Amino acid sequence: MSDTDGKKPLGLGGGRPGQVKQSFSHGRTKTVQVETKRKRVVVPKPGTPSGKPAGSGGSGDPSRRPAGISDAEMERRLAALRAAKAREVEEAAQRAADEAEREREREERRREIEQKERDEREHQEALRLKAEEEARKLREAEIRAQKKEEVRKPAPARPAAVDPAAAQAAEARAATKGVAAAGPRKTDREREAQDRDSRGKGKGDDNRRSGKLSLNEALNSEGGRTRSLAAMKRKQDKARQKAMGYGASAEKQVRDVQLPETIVVQELANRMKERAADVVKALMKMGMMVSMNQPIDADTAELVIEEFGHRAVRVSDADVEQVIDTVQDAASDLRPRPPIVTIMGHVDHGKTSLLDAIRKTSVVSGEAGGITQHIGAYQVTTERGSVLTFLDTPGHAAFTSMRARGAQVTDIVVLVVAADDAVMPQTVEAINHAKAAGVPMIVAINKVDKPDANAQKVRTDLLQHEVVVEQMGGEVLDVEVSAKTGKGLDDLLENIALQSEILDLKANPDRAAMGAVIEAKLDVGRGPVATVLVQHGTLKRGDIFVVGEQWGKVRALINDKGDRVDEAGPSVPVEVLGLNGTPEAGDVLNVVETEAQAREIAAYREQAAKDKRAAAGAATTLEQLMARAKADKDVSELPILVKADVQGSAEAIVQAMEKIGNDEVRVRVLHSGVGAITESDIGLAEASGAPVIGFNVRANAPARAAANQKGVEIRYYSIIYDLVNDIRDAASGLLKKEVRENFIGYAEIKEVFKVSNVGKVAGCLVTEGIARRSAGVRLLRDNVVIHEGTLKTLKRFKDEVKEVQSGQECGMAFEAYDDIRPGDVIEIFEREEVERKLA
């Protein structure tokens, strides 16, 4: 250092004094101001040992100079001293700067390590999230595929097709996330590199900014890093939520979602308190394209529920029915109700006549068609004001089939027995039905107007079947009536009213209605119509209900007089309009609160019925099948398809059909239903070679066309009797024809000749009847048949003839049989095929 000018500031060689450039391993640089304490250089003046500050002004003062030292010498010494001092200071500053630099380097290394660790952690976190995300997707895809396989019968390849896509999407998301996680750091680095470069270049001309905390530096400092970390976290959360398939929403409420076997999408959304559109979207992501009004199975629904972060609570299938009001009525709520009466008895004993006569005693309403083909119910009021409800049933079919479905609608059975007849098979059947149902009976001894009526005989006859009427000392009420003259009808009605009082029939009219379907039909103009007998509660217009596998909302109520009414209380029969399908007789109608409940119950029942049928089909063992096949081999079946106007008719026809046949032939009703004959009926009929029977219904145009094309026979009937007769005749056609033998003659063998080329020929005398060439013959020896066959020749003298009369001689030879002897008898017979008929 040649510079000895004290005015010049001291500095570090080359660099700017007091500045240290920090450089960080990852590329950032920072210039830091270093405070170097300036030391005062004390140059002791000559002669002053304590030394005075070597002021610039003091130098070269000859008065303070030690003696004997020349000025020049003094100057030289001072300069040397100054130089030494300056060197000392310079070295100290250098040391300090070096120390600071080292310290900074240490600090920098520490930070670097921390940063590295942080980076590593972030990287690991990103990897973990990505892995989790992928695992989750994979798991979902697996579960979904599994469920799909289990639940959806025709497992669509969709989940497989969609899930990889979803997985890819998730991967893409995770990848983006990875980029996002690495992003800020990378850009930071780049920025820092640029900064460093620019700073390196602009070293000389950017002096003023150096050493100060610039905005750029501030952004790149630790503060900036913290911010980007938070942003990264937010990004990750967002991505995660996005992957979950729903929008970010703070603090979701986890709900327990009641989940039945099947659930309509809209209802599922309601229960989760989510938007239906979101649920549909979620389902779409799972590869299920469904609308809001479509039902989905519980397994799929459960996945959706989980996806929305709720909990699925499976409810047992039948639980859906629990919304049906089954509360026991308090005794105080119960009000008396009319009895429901069914008239039963043997055919032709006057059931229909009696029902008609009873109706006429009350309000006369012209019943179209009448007769047992119309099934319904009506109410009458007795002279004393009691109201009675009569069921108009075809024999016992409806009674039993309704009972079989658990709908017991009858309170009292009126057993009709004709006084001019006796207790007949169907009378006994009726008695058994009533007893089985635990329903009290009233015996109506009918046709007492007839001269040969013998009411007493009926009473004694009934004793044999454990029906003890009052006159015989029993408890069963009996009334002598005549449907023809009207005699005893009032008596009968009062007796029914009395019996009803004994039964103390009550119901609560103030609750959700429950009733039984007595009849159901598909009306062309009005749609499905069901006649319902309300059993408790009051059915009102607008009520939402479920009936069997159907549901609906009461659009209109029509009573037995054809009037529109607003409501129907206990024991009142009404026609209900507003069904979504045709129920079956015996189905129970229940009013429920909401349409969703009605739909759900109906859907559940439909599924349950389907399952039951499927289970019944699957339950047949191979042995059973073989046994059936064996049994079927000898039995010819006449398959038919029956469509009728009302359920009652259809049932009556099916039952009548089942009765036709014997152990050789039977009628099999492939399908029976209510409504017009449709194309699908024709399809089914064609497949089985069955005719289609339309009872008071017709085939629609497409069905007619299909029938013509496929050669399916459609037959229309309006009288069950005719239908039964025709089917019986048709079934008779399946009976094997009876082969009858007619003996047409006998001949006695007188001699036996041997004729070349022919063999043995018997010379006979026709003793009886006629011998015919084409007939069958038997050879009898001592009245024992030793051969049966045909003739080879029949000759009268030399000529071959067709027949030989009694008393004439002839020659006969057997086909392929030679053992004939004089004295043998030849029996000549003819076979005849006789058509048989089913009884």
- Nearer CB in complex with ligand GDP: 389/482: 482
Cβ 663 to ligand GDP shortest distance, Å: 29
- Nearer CB in complex with ligand GDP: 347/785: 347
Cβ 474 to ligand GDP shortest distance, Å: 24
What gap in Å lies between CA 511 and CA 516, rounded to an integer?
16
Cβ 396 to ligand GDP shortest distance, Å: 11
Cβ-proximal residues to 537 (8 Å cutoff; 6+ apart), any chain:
325, 507, 508, 509, 510, 511, 512, 513, 514, 569, 570, 591
- Nearer CB in complex with ligand GDP: 416/598: 416
- Nearer CB in complex with ligand GDP: 148/447: 447
Tokens of 143: 């579960």
- Nearer CB in complex with ligand GDP: 77/457: 457
Cβ 414 to ligand GDP shortest distance, Å: 12
Interaction site with ligand GDP (CB under 6 A) = 345, 347-353, 446-447, 449-450, 482-484
Cβ 431 to ligand GDP shortest distance, Å: 15
- Nearer CB in complex with ligand GDP: 450/553: 450
Q: Would you call 342 helix, strand, or coil by DSSP?
A: strand
In one-letter notation, the amino acid at residue 170 is A
Per DSSP, what are the bridge partners of residue 477? 442
What gap in Å lies between CA 789 and CA 793, rounded to an integer?
12
Per DSSP, what are the bridge partners of residue 559? 574
Cβ 429 to ligand GDP shortest distance, Å: 13
Cβ 616 to ligand GDP shortest distance, Å: 35
- Nearer CB in complex with ligand GDP: 350/515: 350
What gap in Å lies between CA 141 and CA 159, rounded to an integer?
7
Tokens of 30: 């920072």
Cβ 417 to ligand GDP shortest distance, Å: 10
- Nearer CB in complex with ligand GDP: 300/427: 427
Q: Is 81 exposed, middle or buried (0-12, 13-18, 19+ CB in 10 A)?
A: middle
**Which DSSP helix (H) or strand (E) runs through 442?**
strand 441-446
- Nearer CB in complex with ligand GDP: 487/668: 487
What gap in Å lies between CA 170 and CA 132, rounded to an integer?
10
Q: Would you call 432 helix, strand, or coil by DSSP?
A: helix
661 DSSP 8-state letter: B
Q: Scanning the structure block, which residue is given the tokens 């194309």?
A: 679
- Nearer CB in complex with ligand GDP: 98/348: 348
Per DSSP, what are the bridge partners of residue 715? 693
What gap in Å lies between CA 53 and CA 62, rounded to an integer?
16
HEC secondary structure over 175-207: HHHHHHHHHHHHHHHHHHHHHHHHHHHCCCCCC
What gap in Å lies between CA 810 and CA 793, rounded to an integer?
10
Find, among 623, 573, 584, the residue nearest to 606 by Cα. Answer: 584
Measured between alpha carbons, how far is residue 795 from residues 759, 802, 815 in Å? 14, 8, 14
- Nearer CB in complex with ligand GDP: 480/584: 480
Cβ 543 to ligand GDP shortest distance, Å: 35
What gap in Å lies between CA 292 and CA 355, rounded to an integer?
50
Cβ 410 to ligand GDP shortest distance, Å: 17
Q: Is 402 exposed, middle or buried (0-12, 13-18, 19+ CB in 10 A)?
A: buried
Cβ 486 to ligand GDP shortest distance, Å: 9
Cβ 482 to ligand GDP shortest distance, Å: 4
Our measurement of the distance from residue 25's CA atom to the centroid of its chain's CA atoms, rounded to an integer in Å, reads: 67
- Nearer CB in complex with ligand GDP: 345/515: 345
Residue pair 585/616 in contact (Cβ under 8 Å)? The answer is: no
Using CB positions, name the residue nearest to ligand GDP: 350
